[in-house]
Structure 1
């Protein structure tokens, strides 16, 4: 599975869906959940903006649809893989504007535990 991190160094989590991969995997393949609108593939600068290396916990999810943990973390509609429980950081304002113009809903506080909810 290309979604599973290939090593434990340089892990990053997507700021939109919290999928965890290595920096190189995000550059090579983009985010398996968010690629249609984040367009990280082959763009290391976009990977830097749309992912964070500051995250807590890791969930290995294989059967996302029936897992109560996946439902609790709101990843039950996402691809199987490794997900962060919480991610610190948010997308830059220009990228948030791009998402809004594409009618993509972004909830910065859903995974970001750096700010009070």
Structure 2
């Protein structure tokens, strides 16, 4: 398999990992991609053009899916933060001590 075909194969693996939410697989795939990129020649032969285009297409799809995954995660974190704030406010009105101690990272409070 040519180094250009390896880029396509890695692109497919990465896209599948991203769309399946297998975020932990991405570090290993990235390490493998770095090895393949290091093996690329200074210029690509004309017969590699189709593989390079496909690798670029897959990379764009993966980047879009990653962007959406980050947006979804940020939304979920905001939702969890809002829920926690609401629950803490409710608990404060019950007279029950908070189960979560306050932690300060700046030495105050």
Normalised by the size of structure 1, how large is the TM-score? 0.22
Q: Which has the higher contact order (CA 8 A, sep 6+)?
A: 2
Higher helix share: 2
Q: Which has the larger radius of gyration?
A: 2
Higher strand share: 1
Q: What is the TM-score of this pair, normalised by structure 2?
A: 0.23
